Structure 1
Amino acid sequence: MVIDDVASDDSTNYPLTLLIGLDDQLHLTLRYLPDFFDESYAQALLGRLETLLTEIGETPSTAVGDVEVMTAPERALVLESWNDTSHPVVGGLLLDGFDSVVGVCSGSRAVVFGDEVLSYGEFDERVNRFARYLIGLGVGPESLVGLAVRRSVDLLVGLYAIVRAGGAWVPLDPDAPSSRNEYVLDSADPVCVVSTERDGFVASGRRVVCVDVVDVSGFSGARVSDVDRRSPLRASNTAYVIFTSGSTGRPKGVAVSHAAIVNQLEFMQGEYRLTSSDVYLQKTATTFDVSLWGFFMPLRVGAVLVLASADGHRDPGYLASVIDDQGVSVTDFVPTMLSTFSSLVDPGLLGSLRDVLVIGEALPVEAVREFGLVSSARLHNLYGPTEAAVSFTFADVTAAGSGTVVSIGVPEWNCRVFVLDSRLRPVAVGVAGELYLSGVQLARGYVGRPDLSADRFVASPFGSGERMYRTGDLVRWNSIGELEYIGRTDFQVKFRGQRIELGEIE
């Protein structure tokens, strides 16, 4: 029996399928589902495959990894056009912005914590007196000071005073296991530890200064300057050291300069435009670098900084009531807490919210959608590791609840991002690669760990050889020049946005 009328149709339900036919020529057919890919992506993919096969055919000895499949315009797009972030920023110190508004806003509310309220003038005077006390203990540029205070006005006074004295704060959690705090203290070797009598923080063999009881009445409340400090304070000096965990062993201290934070805060102000009429709800732990937004953004522009109670950040009902009572216009969340907040909160209490900043974890589409049901505030997804002051990319994702992926956006002012393969070569649009960061907001490195600094902060093969930070995050460029987060290259663990070492769990 002869059958000569059989026909076939090669098809699958896969999002992307490559069909290969061979007679006297090689035939490639690429099929895609338009729900996942568009024609331009499919055409670009076929073009790269054609380049690869042509190169292999012409030079069989060439290693596949050495073949450059990107065209010159594609390479320029991902390396240059989408990294065109140069923006003039007036350099300076972290508290310069605060200093510029104190005189104008002297009698206005600066800090609110429950029933306790400090004006700009009152807060500035307390900071300057305590800063002079710290200088007398030997605090100055490039010296470290532990900060172990639960959320309170005293926390903010201690924080600003350390910076005013020229030192760099090292946040410590009074509720963390003593073994972790001891490790941080041994690694940082601070001049002293600022705490409070009520917090009862113990630092064996180290001076603990209780900001709530120490007598500073004999010190001037006038502005501290380089004349008062041990040596001049520069933008390149360290402003803080945060000990972060991850997948590389024990916690390591990340040192970040004044210049890095100032660039971040200038970008934030340029993008989100806080004014003296704004109220920022600060509810993030000091051991998480995102806390810097709430601590420093509002007091640079004459706005009001409302501190949540010590455990209030875990209580959606409490947070909603504070937002309503204080007229909070801006705050921040990690994605997991945003979801919990959205599912439990009374929408009627959120009318004052204008902008909500989200960072710390991958933001699910569902979380965006849920938040949109309870608030009309703009939702912003930001990305950044501890090794870069604070965020590095940003995106307005208010409308992302109708999509399938929430973008982490585009690089911020004076920041550059590179999606690279294992040979530090850029990958094409739509292709997964490891994210590398470069620019003014990078940390100085890890305190006392030159080996780890050299491993994670590498020389860039682009531009003039500036440093890049290897994040360990897998991302890809989408067709409009935004980054999409995919996952990790290692086994890093996060809980509510903060990196943890499994070995530290007690």
Structure 2
Amino acid sequence: LEYNADLFDRDTVEAMARRFLRLLSAAARAPQTRLKDLPLLDEEERRLLLRDWGRGARSDAAPDLLAGFERQAMDRPAAEAVRYEGEALSYGELNGRANQLAHWLRGKGVGPDVLVGLCMERGLEMVVGLLGILKAGGAYVPLDPEHPAERLSLLLEDTGAKLVLTQSRLKPGLPAGTAETLSLDGEWEQVAGCASGNPAPLAGPDHLAYCIYTSGSTGAP
């Protein structure tokens, strides 16, 4: 065998050679077999991969996004969570604002599989809005503020979203009368009176998290 000793050791190369020969032999015996169905590993290797090395590994043991974020906010509330153009929010501040928004959204009927438009430029408000929607149990629909009102109207009609989170400077560009709007930078007083504690989770792994549309080459999403 010839190989680059800087990249591989001899045991690795010999194992690769055995697998390649096993693949070729199986293909010669059954030439009509699909490549994906041909054996590459021997029984010992299969046992290691499927039984021994995988024992005890459970993906459902990991916390979800919101639980992990809330744990960080509890453990390190003063640590900086997000920064944009010189402004910043700590984990405690971000969690508190997202919680207030989540409680407000639930008061508006937002819950599992309920879609909420998110029409914002990048910044602190966008992060608050995204987390607030998820904490309410809903799903967010990204709305590009640079798109014409006609397209935004099509998206809102197609999703059935009755509520859009936005920013004051973007609110005039949204289609009129399609959905209720709340600008997080200019109308926060509507939210400020809501509780800042973590809302009880409503959505599970099988519920919607977001709904995103392609560019729509025909002009429609």
Aligned-pair distance for 1:196? 0.9
Aligned with 2:174 (options 199, 202, 206) = 202
Which amino acid is 2:155 matched to? V
CA offsets 1:191-217 (integer angstroms, 9 cap, x no match): 311111112341452222211122226
Q: Is the 8 A contact 1:134 1:165 kept in 2?
A: yes
Aligned to 1:65: 33
Q: Is the 8 A contact 1:184 1:243 kept in 2?
A: no
The reply on whether 1:141 has 2:98 as its aligned counterpart is no
- Structure 1 vs Structure 2 CA RMSD: 3.9
Q: 2:2 & 2:155 partners in 1: Cα distance?
A: 52
What SS does structure 2 have at the residue aligned with 1:80? helix
Aligned with 1:236 (options 194, 205, 213) = 205
Number of aligned residues: 206
Q: 2:180 & 2:53 partners in 1: Cα distance?
A: 46
Aligned to 1:80: 50
Unaligned 5+ segments in structure 1 are 1-31, 57-63, 227-231, 245-250, 252-499
Aligned-pair distance for 1:130? 2.4
Aligned to 1:127: 98
Q: Is the 8 A contact 1:145 1:168 kept in 2?
A: yes
Which amino acid is 1:209 matched to? L
Larger RCO of the pair (alpha carbons < 8 Å, separation 6+): 2
TM-score, normalization: structure 1? 0.34
Which amino acid is 1:106 matched to? P
What SS does structure 2 have at the residue aligned with 1:140? coil
Aligned to 1:213: 186
Aligned-pair distance for 1:102? 2.9
What SS does structure 2 have at the residue aligned with 1:208? strand
What SS does structure 2 have at the residue aligned with 1:123? helix
1:218-367 → structure 2 map (5 Å cutoff):
219-226=193-200, 233-236=202-205, 238=207, 240-243=209-212, 251=214
Q: 2:34 & 2:77 partners in 1: Cα distance?
A: 63
Q: 1:84 & 1:224 partners in 2: Cα distance?
A: 35
| Structure with a larger share of its residues in helix | 2
What SS does structure 1 have at the residue aligned with 2:33? helix
Aligned to 2:77: 106
1:127–1:77: structure 2 CA closer, same or farther, 3 Å change rule? Answer: same
Aligned-pair distance for 1:182? 4.0
What SS does structure 2 have at the residue aligned with 1:174? coil
Aligned with 1:53 (options 28, 32, 39) = 28
Aligned to 2:9: none
1:329-478 → structure 2 map (5 Å cutoff):
none
The reply on whether 1:154 has 2:129 as its aligned counterpart is no
TM-score, normalization: structure 2? 0.70
1:191–1:84: structure 2 CA closer, same or farther, 3 Å change rule? Answer: farther
Which amino acid is 2:179 matched to? R
Q: Is the 8 A contact 2:97 2:196 kept in 1?
A: no
Q: 2:40 & 2:68 partners in 1: Cα distance?
A: 45
1:81–1:203: structure 2 CA closer, same or farther, 3 Å change rule? Answer: farther
CA offsets 1:96-149 (integer angstroms, 9 cap, x no match): 223223344334433322232333333333223322222222112221111111
Aligned to 1:356: none
What SS does structure 1 have at the residue aligned with 2:212? strand
1:80–1:504: structure 2 CA closer, same or farther, 3 Å change rule? Answer: farther
